[in-house]
Amino acid sequence: MDEKQRESIALFRYGLISNVVSRKLMKGEKAALLRNIANQEHINPLGEKQNISVRSLERYIQLYQEGGFDALKPKRKGNYAARAIPEEVINKAIQLKQERPERSVYQIIRMLELANIVKPNQISESTLSKQLRKRGVTRQALKQEQSRKYRRFEFPYRNACWQGDVQHTLYLPHPTGEGKRVTAKLFAFIDDYSRLIVHGEFYLDERGAQLEDCLQKAILRYGKPEKLYVDNGAIYRAKVLDLACAHLGIDLVHSKPGRPEGRGKIERFFRFVDTSFKPEAYDLIESGQIKSVEELNNYFQIWLDMMYHERVHGETRQTPKDRFEESEQSLVYPHLEEIKNAFKWQEERKVDKTGCISFQNNRYEVEQKLVGKMVTLRYDPFDLEILEVWYQGERQEDAVAASLQRHLDNRVSVPNDEEKEKSPSGLNFLTLANSPFQEHKKQQKGRLSYSSLMGGEKHD
């Protein structure tokens, strides 16, 4: 089993227990969660459906708590056992039960036999009944599903869950000029309990690097969430995000295709952006006061702190800022180095005969003992000067840059720096709010923030 397979299995195992290890549980809650997980069917890294016992789940939890994510990687032996009942037979039985919930297991088996799908006495009632129960395909569950109505739900305290999404908000002048325009994409994460935007920022690209940058800034300022709820887009399914959440102990959950109702809070925030921020921003774009994404983000932060976070929410009857700050739930801050390591990208390369590797148009030297070996490179996509070298799960000496042509990964970009114009242009909420916003920032100097952490300032 190679390192990729071991890592995939570790991610699969973490996905099973993430909702248990990512937060503190009440007495008896852990056992109930484990039973619920064990009663479900899961798709393992081999693409097979598999049931996991409570005992195995407890073993995974113990491994993770004692050794972190790497402890979930299997030994270099082991395999997944085949299932007793063919999957196509189980799927047909599920279809028959869903069509008529009143059908008994015995009746379903007889139908399968008469249709020559299974041989007589090939499967027992108890075995099929157990498989249907594990999948939640029971008469009671099907009736509840038919009558189910969606209701509003919120988590009971801050940082219990963050919702994340991206919106194509508005157009900016293209950095090259010539009358062209470029779409500014707003990445945002909202705290489900308080409706506080833990971080929101405009980017010119919609890729994993921008998502990860936004999430890191949110964690650095407000601590990590227990659960991260996102959609099924490609950037949210990236392995980097999976690994980052696994290393930081965050339960990553994707909404089900065709059922986006659970992300209603972030979608309502985007609608408010459209009606409140967007018209004001376009005023400044047209007057030439916003010409770059940096300037757009400066004004967005003013609007966020002076308008959105200070506005009483229609459902909570509190401002997002007050509701977040009044919550007694402790904020959990991972170490800065832990966050950086969690979000590092990785690629595989083969070391050539000269003890070098080529990566992103750069050439690096590695240890001679790795000649001919396939190694894993872990790195910050915004700094290609430093590459960590890993082989068979163990870190080797870092690669040394022999020829450095590119400093950034080719999948990330840095916005064009432009000179800011400071001249006012009539009445505009964003310009009017600028002065009180700056005064507000002075009063908040002692507060933990992303910029202070990155600058190395100390806080009591």
pLDDT at 329 > cutoff 70: yes
Residue 205 tokens read as 């690209």
pLDDT at 440 > cutoff 70: no
Residue type, 242: D
Q: Tell me the three state secondary structure of residue 197.
A: strand
**Per-residue pLDDT tens for 381-397?**
888 998 999 998 899 99
8 Å CB contact between 348 and 341: no
8 Å CB contact between 363 and 403: yes
pLDDT of residue 295: 94
Top pLDDT among 44 and 140 is at: 44
Q: Which domains does the chain have, with CATH numbers?
A: 3-72 (no CATH), 87-147 (no CATH), 162-326 (3.30.420.10), 344-403 (2.40.50)
Residue 363 tokens read as 């050439």
Residue 51's pLDDT band (boundaries 50, 70, 90)?
A: confident
**Per-residue pLDDT tens for 193-219?**
999 999 999 999 888 889 999 999 999
Round the average pLDDT of the chain to a whole number and report it.
Answer: 83
Please tell me the chain's helix, strand, coil percentages from 3-state DSSP, rounded to the nearest 5: 45, 15, 40
Residue 263's pLDDT band (boundaries 50, 70, 90)?
A: confident
8 Å CB contact between 148 and 318: no
pLDDT of residue 44: 85
**Per-residue pLDDT tens for 213-258?**
999 999 999 999 999 999 888 888 888 899 999 999 999 998 876 5
Residue 118's pLDDT band (boundaries 50, 70, 90)?
A: confident
Residue 426's pLDDT band (boundaries 50, 70, 90)?
A: very low
Top pLDDT among 427 and 31 is at: 31
**Per-residue pLDDT tens for 173-197?**
887 767 788 999 999 999 999 999 9
**Rounded alpha-carbon distances, angstroms, from residue 414 to 158, 296, 391, 411:** 33, 15, 31, 11
Residue 7's pLDDT band (boundaries 50, 70, 90)?
A: confident
